[in-house]
Amino acid sequence: TDIQNFLTNNQITIDGNAPRPLFNFDEANFPEPVMETIVQCGFQKPTLIQSCSWPILLSGLDLIGIALTGSGKTLAFILPALIHASHQEFVKPGDSPIVLIMAPTRELVQQIYTVAHQFGQLAQCRTTVIFGGVSKEPQRNSLLNGVEVVIGTPGRLLDFIEEGVLKLDRITYLVLDEADRMLDMGFEPQIRQICERIRSDRQTTMFSATWPKGVRQLANQFLSTKRIHVTIGNIILAANPSICQIIEVCTESQKQNRFIEILREIMKLQNGKTLVFCQTKRRVNEIYLITKQMGFPVLSNSSDLISCDF
């Protein structure tokens, strides 16, 4: 069939009794203002994860989506979330929101917020974004004024929940985005505390680039047994296959000289740029001083220099 060919040709695996994928935006029956904005954004057709996710989420089913970053997953969960929220009673000041979206970093929640705000206005849904490292007061006020959609990092969300500022009794649509990264960053206790306080009849969506044991355990506990599992591409892949990865094994004494050699090779390239990650802030400073003294144009960042998202 056409559907089976579509799934096979695109390396898509669907586990569970899922509705058929969509092949164009018209099949989703989104409200006209949403459709107009999709056209204005220049989107030609749904991405693979959108094609599979929208029918599932618009049917009210739980979803696990395994897809790489950059696959279009934000719109995959945002548009059904806004449709869901727009069908509920308007949130009054002091009330619980309807949609809660958790993601691991400030940068990611702000990206999600940008999309949610753009389309939320069309669906008459108010959105706000919550993250650490900045003053709580504006975020507190936005929650108290009442919003339909809250997007945030687990740590700051839990702070507001424990303060009684963020209520959860009306949350009926929950999203855990980049679940594997949230666990890697140590957010599992906060995620569990938040999920355990949300009503059990909610719709839950989890997106992840990988499918490790910790993410599986989280899904087993907090998603329905009737959930649909969609995998785009090969589940074994832990990183984007379009990125060339090179691993060099060397001794500690060889590492610095080889590092400088690689930097020099990169600097010969047109627009050659490099990101270097270190295990400690002390090592960041050491590498910064070494490269600066050798004449490389270098900048340094660590949690001593920029606000942290935890």
pTM of the model: 0.78
Rounded distance between C-alpha atoms, residue 60 and residue 309, angstroms: 32
The yes-or-no verdict on residue 307 having pLDDT over 80 is no
pLDDT tens digit string along 177-232? Answer: 999 999 999 999 999 999 999 999 999 999 999 999 999 999 999 999 999 999 99
Query: Which CATH homologous superfamily contains domain 2-232?
Result: P-loop containing nucleotide triphosphate hydrolases (3.40.50.300)
Residue with the bigger pLDDT between 302 and 119: it is 119
Query: Residue 197: its pLDDT value, please?
Result: 97
Mean residue pLDDT across the chain: 91
pLDDT tens digit string along 67-83? Answer: 987 789 999 999 999 99
pLDDT tens digit string along 139-170? Answer: 999 999 999 999 999 999 999 999 999 999 99
Question: Residue 240: which residues within 8 A CB-CB, separation 6 or more?
Answer: 68, 69, 70
Sign of the alpha-carbon dihedral angle for 227, 61, 208, 173 = negative
Average pLDDT over residues 244-267: 87
- Token pair recorded at residue 54: 């929208």
pLDDT tens digit string along 20-45? Answer: 999 999 999 999 999 999 988 889 99
Rounded distance between C-alpha atoms, residue 214 and residue 195, angstroms: 15
What whole-number percentage of the chain has pLDDT above 70? Answer: 95
Query: Residue 268: its pLDDT value, please?
Result: 86
Segments making up each domain of the chain, as ranges: 2-232, 246-310
Rounded distance between C-alpha atoms, residue 155 and residue 100, angstroms: 14
Average pLDDT over residues 296-306: 74
Average pLDDT over residues 286-303: 87
- Token pair recorded at residue 267: 């600097």
- Terminal CA-CA length for the chain: 48
